[in-house]
Amino acid sequence: MIKNPFSNSRKSSAGKSKQPKTEENCRVVSELLRPNGVDQSWRVFSILSEFVSGFNLLRKLGPAATFWGSARLRPGDKYYNEAEELASRLAKKGLTIVTGGGGGIMEAGNVGAYKVGGQSVGLNIRLPMEQKLNPYTTMSQTFDHFFARKVMLAFSSEVYIYFPGGYGTLDELYEILTLIQTKKISHVPIILYGKEFWTPLVDWMKRELLEKYQTIDEKDLGLFSIVDSVDEAEKKVFSKVAVVCEI
């Protein structure tokens, strides 16, 4: 009999074979396949249902503008108030306002559209804390899966407006920039609201990504523009979105 040359190759110093990770320690099992101890063989149907209902909701929208920004800003904050005012102006001229459905800038966008009788859409995510659907939407869907929600938001609008925010806002900004850069979606106008907030990040992108490391092209910095007032933002939106209809 030929001896297996690998039979003793993985023994520890104590002479015992090392054991592979148990199922409980394997992340693909503990987080993807069986979250909360439930057999997730059927999880694909939950994911599919979110895509189907999400796209059915998007089919009902006309020309739209999506607002992004921090969930932590409150009424009275400069950016909350200006997001509300901008949303009101855009909704009056026929644009549906789409947000992530939560508080802060998302709420401000929905409030602005709601107050003037416009269409106000919230694509919410179910989280253990911080996020819940605000009451100023005329249409909404709450998602369990971030990736399904992100797909809906990526295809929801003719223009994307980013107010100051945290990790989530930056994640969504770079998501859309990447999709446009790689031509996975059409060149949707991206507007960054607030020069004081966004200019340091853009300067870093230019200095480090473009000039020092050459990890982006110069044309990639032209995928977005920065504005600093409601008037400037409104003008920029309608220079990019030509077809709107009066409510």
- Where do the domains of the chain lie? 63-240
Say if pTM beats, i.e. exceeds, 0.95.
no
Average pLDDT of every residue of the chain: 87
pLDDT at 72 over 90: yes
Q: Among 3.40.50.970, 3.40.50.450, 3.40.50.150, 3.30.70.2340, what is the CATH number of 63-240?
A: 3.40.50.450
Rounded CA-CA distance 142/134 in Å is 11
Q: Tell me which amino acid residue 221 is.
A: L
Over residues 31-38, the mean pLDDT reads 58
Structure confidence at residue 74 (pLDDT): 96
Average pLDDT over residues 43-55: 90
The rounded distance, in Å, linking the Cα atoms of 54 and 47 is: 11
Average pLDDT over residues 224-241: 96
Q: Is residue 38 predicted with pLDDT exceeding 50?
A: yes
Q: What's the average model confidence in pLDDT over 66-85?
A: 97
User: Are β-strands 96-99 and 139-143 bridged in parallel, bridged antiparallel, or unpaired?
Assistant: unpaired
pLDDT on residue 240: 87
What pLDDT does 3 receive? Answer: 53
User: What's residue 182's pLDDT?
Assistant: 96
Helices (H) and strands (E) in the chain, counts: 8, 7
141 burial via Cβ count (<10 Å: 0-12, 13-18, 19+): buried
pLDDT at residue 195 is higher than 70: yes
d(CA 63, CA 93): 10
* Least confident segment among 196-205, 220-229, 237-246: 237-246
pLDDT range class, residue 246, cuts 50, 70, 90: very low
**What pLDDT shows up at residue 44?**
82
Which pLDDT score is estimated for 206? Answer: 98
**What per-residue confidence (pLDDT) applies to 127?**
78
pLDDT of residue 12: 45
User: What mean pLDDT comes out for the span 87-100?
Assistant: 96
Q: Which pLDDT score is estimated for 97?
A: 97
Question: What is the structure's pLDDT at 122?
Answer: 96
What does the pLDDT read at residue 45?
86
38-52, 75-89, 182-196, range with the lowest pLDDT: 38-52
- Give exposure, 83-114, as e/b (b: 16+ Cβ within 10 Å): bbbbbbbbbebbbbbbbbbbbbbbbbbbbbbb
136: tokens are 């100023």
